[in-house]
């Protein structure tokens, strides 16, 4: 490192607040600090600003209907179609030749779709789905990797009013079956396979295995051929080749179906406290308005930008900020199929340079990996097209924030650290990049119109600097409407904790811990339920535990998240072998790994499985997860005197450190 670099690092190290660069502010979409007050004074009418970004077939009568809270409704009486808003209207405005989707395949091939072309593809596939018998309100499951046919299928579903349920391609066969069963989904779009670091991965066998676990009849399965000759496979009677079907429908015109603002746009399953994943329901009007609004205000997206979110569409971030928000604004959305280190560790920067990306949105876990790889991978690329950077998915540590700011943004791009959830539909807590000072490590204030607070167990706001829990004390358009077919769980998961039902005061509880500072900036500390966050992906410890205890020879297990340098958190399993299995730990370990991969997928792969004759328990018999987390993270262990069996702690800790 040169002296100059060293000085720069030292200066950055100490700096705790950063002002948005002048050059950015001059052109930003939102620059008037008065917006916070304006939204507060005009709430909920302020949300018309979001609805105004869309084209409505029928104007709405009411912005917010709160008569049956917390089953809130937004823009009631309004009608619209999401695919029309993401495609047709841009074409009608004469922007059909602008690029909608720029797809980068892992092996270096690219596919570019203008708005005209994307609309054609979507209409052809919408006609195909209809022909197969898909009707309005039928849930179509999309179990697909990052191929262009995924956003095409989502928009085709939206066009005919069939909600989609995207299942992340990295999830297991079991996970597919659980989700199709829960949503009674009779149609599936999948893929023969995909490439990872140059290898062809078989996806269709996993799909078929999953289909065996579906309890109802599946009418049709459409299979995208991504691998060509790299994978031989046969299609069953109800399985069709995507290209062949679509070829029969080429040039179709499919009128977008007018959907009620409150009609379901999609379902997205996410992990919760219990073993069963939750089907989060998002609607057409509120969700689309909210993602368009936040894309404009926070990501500063404009129609002529090239914008890239490196998430996978299988998660909410990809839904909201690769597909719906950016396309509603008519921008160019980049989509990358593969991994950041293939063929080399500068792949992402090569894509930024080549496409002259203006705005880049990624996860802290990726940034920590780039940091570890070193800045030489960024230095030989021209990243000067970048104007704004964003992060999402987990807390970002100030060191990673500063690395991102300096090495990717060249100290000229604001960073938005955006806190939100599958359930919130879009961003909730973040700075507005044209207005607010940035404080590395702190997401920022709640967005205008969002009443997020940090409270204690009684719901009282905590003093600056004290830890508490995040709550959201008024509704917002992008919020989930319920959990699919489970209104009861919707209430108990999100509203019970802090609401006063008798007074009809409803408070949303996202189950995150946080601190707030004197300026109202919120620092998210992480989940306070049994959910862990591995590389920005939400995993339920209970789901993993139930997979592990399903292994013959394992009596009991506890799964916790331990700190991990790159992944943020990693999965640690503590397991007790049954009598007679004590000397077969290697076998049990292998089977437990296998069980986790089978029931969830490779993202949940345990970092370590630790066998122990006992788990540390409180006197009332509760497993001390906090202690297990500390052991996994290598933290100093606090007071263990409340334990029924304090001696097991040293045994376990010895095992973890000696590995
Ligand atoms: C969008 C998304 C939600 C959970 C959330 C929180 C964590 C997300 C964050 C963040 C700190 C941020 N999270 N963004 N923590 N800073 N900027 O990630 O949705 O997969 O549902 O996860 O992720 O713990 O509760 P989802």
Q: What is the pLDDT of residues 360-384, one digit of tens each?
A: 999 999 999 999 999 999 999 999 9
401 — pLDDT class (breaks 50, 70, 90): very high
Of 421 and 651, more confident: 421
44: preceding bond cis by omega (within 30 degrees): yes
262 Cα: distance to centroid of ligand 1 (angstroms): 25
- The strand pair at 332-336 and 99-104 is best described as parallel
For residue 512, the SS3 value is strand
273 — pLDDT class (breaks 50, 70, 90): low
- Please say if the pLDDT value at position 6 is more than 90: no
Q: For residue 424, give Cα distances in angstroms to 287, 320, 420, 473, 603.
A: 9, 11, 6, 13, 23
- The strand pair at 388-392 and 415-418 is best described as parallel
As a whole number of angstroms, the distance between CA 57 and CA 160 comes to 15
Residue matched to tokens 């797809």:
103
- Please say if the pLDDT value at position 89 is more than 70: yes
ipTM greater than 0.95, yes or no?
A: yes
Lowest-pLDDT choice from 83-97, 315-329, 334-348, 534-548: 534-548
As a whole number of angstroms, the distance between CA 85 and CA 100 comes to 13
268 — pLDDT class (breaks 50, 70, 90): very high
Mutate to test the pocket of ligand 1, among 298, 416, 420 (most ligand atoms within 8 A of CB): 420
pLDDT the model gives residue 536:
87
What residues flank ligand 1, with Cβ below 6 Å?
A: 270, 315-317, 392-395, 417-422, 443, 510, 512, 524, 526-527, 533, 538
- Exposed, middle or buried, 643 (CB in 10 Å: 0-12/13-18/19+)? middle
pLDDT the model gives residue 601:
94
Helices 204-212 and 173-183, interaxial angle, to 10°? 50
Query: How many Å is the Cα radius of gyration of the chain?
Result: 24
What's the sign of the alpha-carbon dihedral 150, 156, 158, 164?
Answer: negative
58 — pLDDT class (breaks 50, 70, 90): very high
pLDDT the model gives residue 5:
66
- Please say if the pLDDT value at position 659 is more than 60: no
Span 473-496, pLDDT tens digits: 999 999 999 999 999 999 999 999
pLDDT the model gives residue 11:
84
Check: CB of residue 128 under 8 Å from CB of residue 192. no
pLDDT the model gives residue 641:
66
183 — pLDDT class (breaks 50, 70, 90): very high
- Please say if the pLDDT value at position 658 is more than 60: no
Give the mean model confidence (pLDDT) for residues 46-70: 98
Check: CB of residue 327 under 8 Å from CB of residue 154. no
**CA-closest candidate to residue 477, choices 258, 282, 204:** 282
Q: In this structure, what DSSP letter does residue 146 have?
A: S
Structure tokens at 623: 């497993």
Domains, the chain, ordered by start: 535-657 (3.30.300.30)
For residue 25, the SS3 value is helix
The backbone torsions φ and ψ at residue 524, rounded to the nearest 5 degrees and listed phi first, read -80, 130
Q: In this structure, what DSSP letter does residue 444 have?
A: B
Give the mean model confidence (pLDDT) for residues 23-31: 98
HEC string of 578-642 equals CCCCCCCHHHHHHHHHHHHHHHCCHHHCCCEEEECCCCCEECCCCECHHHHHHHHHCCCCCCCCC
Span 552-578, pLDDT tens digits: 999 889 999 999 999 999 999 999 999
Check: CB of residue 208 under 8 Å from CB of residue 239. no
Residue closest by Cα to atom 12 of ligand 1: 419
HEC string of 322-342 equals HHHHHHHCCCEEEEECCCCCC
Q: Which atom of ligand 1 is nearest to the CA of 418?
A: 17
Q: Please give the mean pLDDT across all residues of the chain.
A: 94
Residue closest by Cα to atom 16 of ligand 1: 395
What is the percent of the chain with per-residue pLDDT over 90, rounded to a whole number?
84
What is the percent of the chain with per-residue pLDDT over 70, rounded to a whole number?
97
Give the mean model confidence (pLDDT) for residues 12-25: 93
344 Cα: distance to centroid of ligand 1 (angstroms): 28
């Amino acid at each position: 490192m040169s002296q100059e670099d060293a000085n720069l690092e030292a200066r950055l190290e100490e700096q705790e607040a950063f002002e948005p660069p002048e050059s950015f502010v001059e052109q930003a979409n939102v620059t008037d600090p008065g917006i916070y007050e304006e939204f507060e004074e005009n709430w909920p009418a302020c949300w018309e600003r979001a609805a105004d970004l869309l084209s409505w077939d029928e104007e709405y009568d009411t912005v917010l209907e709160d008569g049956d809270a917390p089953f809130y409704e937004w823009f009631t009486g309004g009608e619209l179609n999401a695919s029309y808003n993401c495609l047709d209207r841009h074409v009608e405005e004469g922007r059909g030749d602008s690029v909608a989707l720029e797809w980068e395949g892992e092996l270096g091939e690219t596919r570019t779709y203008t708005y005209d072309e994307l609309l054609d593809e979507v209409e052809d596939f919408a006609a195909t789905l209809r022909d197969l018998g898909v009707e309005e309100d039928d849930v179509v499951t999309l179990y697909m990797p990052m191929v262009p046919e995924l956003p095409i299928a989502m928009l085709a579903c939206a066009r005919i009013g069939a909600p989609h349920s995207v299942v992340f391609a990295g999830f297991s066969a079991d996970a597919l079956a659980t989700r199709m069963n829960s949503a009674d989904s009779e149609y599936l779009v999948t893929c023969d396979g995909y490439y990872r670091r140059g290898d062809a991965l078989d996806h269709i066998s996993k799909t078929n295995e999953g289909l065996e676990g579906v309890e109802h009849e599946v009418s049709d399965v459409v299979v995208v051929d991504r691998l060509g000759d790299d994978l031989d496979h046969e299609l069953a009677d109800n399985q069709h080749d995507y290209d062949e079907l679509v070829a029969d429908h080429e040039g179709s015109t499919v009128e977008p179906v007018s959907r009620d603002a409150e009609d379901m746009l999609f379902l997205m399953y996410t992990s919760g406290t219990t073993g069963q994943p939750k089907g989060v329901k998002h609607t057409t009007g509120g969700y689309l308005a909210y993602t368009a609004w936040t894309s404009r205000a926070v990501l500063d997206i404009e129609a002529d930008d090239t914008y890239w979110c490196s998430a996978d569409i299988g998660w909410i971030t990809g839904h909201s900020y690769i597909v719906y928000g950016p396309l509603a604004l008519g921008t160019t959305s980049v989509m990358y199929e593969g991994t950041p280190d293939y063929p080399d560790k500068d792949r992402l920067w090569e894509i930024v340079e080549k496409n002259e990306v203006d705005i880049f949105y990624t996860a802290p876990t990726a940034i920590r990996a780039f940091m570890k790889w070193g800045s030489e991978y960024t230095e030989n690329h021209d990243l000067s097209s970048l104007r704004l950077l964003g992060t999402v998915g987990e807390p970002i540590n100030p060191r990673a924030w500063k690395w991102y700011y300096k090495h990717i943004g060249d100290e000229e791009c604001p960073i938005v650290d955006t806190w939100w959830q599958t359930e919130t539909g879009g961003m909730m807590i973040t700075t507005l990049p044209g207005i607010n000072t940035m404080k590395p490590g702190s997401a920022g204030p709640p967005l205008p119109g969002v009443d997020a607070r940090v409270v204690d167990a009684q719901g009282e706001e905590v003093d600056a600097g004290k830890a508490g829990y995040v709550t959201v004390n008024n509704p917002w358009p992008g919020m989930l409407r319920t959990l699919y077919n489970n209104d009861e769980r919707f209430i108990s998961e999100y509203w019970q904790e802090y609401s006063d039902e008798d007074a009809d005061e409803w408070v949303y509880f996202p189950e995150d811990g946080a601190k707030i500072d004197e300026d109202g900036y919120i620092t998210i500390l992480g989940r306070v339920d049994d959910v862990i966050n591995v590389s920005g992906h939400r995993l339920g410890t209970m789901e993993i535990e139930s997979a592990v205890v399903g292994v013959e020879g394992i009596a009991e297990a506890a799964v916790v998240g331990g700190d991990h340098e790159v992944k943020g958190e990693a999965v640690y399993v503590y397991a007790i072998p049954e009598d007679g299995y004590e000397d077969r730990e290697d076998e049990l370990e292998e089977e437990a790994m296998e069980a986790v991969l089978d029931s969830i997928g490779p993202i949940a792969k345990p970092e370590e499985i630790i066998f122990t004759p006992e788990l540390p328990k409180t006197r009332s018999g509760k497993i001390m997860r906090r202690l297990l987390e500390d052991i996994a993270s290598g933290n100093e262990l606090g007071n263990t005197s409340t334990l029924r069996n304090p001696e097991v702690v040293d045994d376990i800790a010895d095992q973890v450190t000696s590995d």
